[in-house]
């Protein structure tokens, strides 16, 4: 079960990851082996054509999975992304985007997560990503 609440994750994020404050990530749900994260719509996330940019979705997938791991292990973890694979499926409209982040494996050395990203209110996903994190040895 998770050992951190949404509020604790928010505080951790503000303190340790000020450089992604531009994403304005909101933790909507923390559950066993998963979290839901929302990025409110902002025009700075747009790319030409008026859709949410790929790098915004990649940053969301990466940070969301990191937070899902953190929620399980607590704030001591210094997990590092080693692999990220993302498929862009549909163009998201000018709306919030919401990421369902699930942990597929939480091992001693590696964690693997999966993220499905939706444009708020839509049924079909706009992107899907998988990620691997290396977990440093814990004393």
Per CB under 8 A, residues contacting its own copies are: 16-17, 19-20, 44, 46-48, 53-55, 58-59, 62, 80-90, 104-105, 109-110, 112, 114, 124-125, 128, 130, 132, 134
HEC sequence for 68-83:
HHHHHHCCCCCCEEEE
112/120 with CB nearer its own copies: 112
For residue 66, the minimal CB distance to its own copies (Å) is 10
Q: How far apart are the C-alpha atoms of 56 and 84, rounded to whole Å?
A: 14
First-to-last CA distance in the chain?
21
19/121 with CB nearer its own copies: 19
Q: How far apart are the C-alpha atoms of 90 and 76, rounded to whole Å?
A: 36
For residue 127, the minimal CB distance to its own copies (Å) is 9
């Amino acid at each position: 079960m998770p050992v951190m609440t949404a509020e604790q994750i928010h505080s951790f994020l503000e303190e340790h990851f000020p450089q992604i404050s531009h994403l304005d990530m909101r933790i909507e749900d923390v559950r066993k082996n998963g979290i839901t994260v929302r990025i409110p719509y902002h025009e700075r996330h747009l790319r030409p054509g008026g859709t949410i940019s790929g790098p915004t979705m990649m940053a969301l997938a990466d940070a969301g999975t990191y937070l899902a791991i953190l929620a399980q292990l607590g704030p001591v973890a210094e997990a590092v992304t080693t692999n990220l694979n993302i498929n862009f499926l549909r163009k998201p409209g000018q709306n919030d985007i919401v990421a369902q982040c699930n942990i597929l494996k939480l091992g001693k050395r590696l964690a693997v997560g999966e993220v499905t990203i939706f444009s708020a209110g839509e049924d079909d996903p706009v992107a899907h990503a998988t990620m691997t994190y290396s977990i440093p040895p814990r004393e």
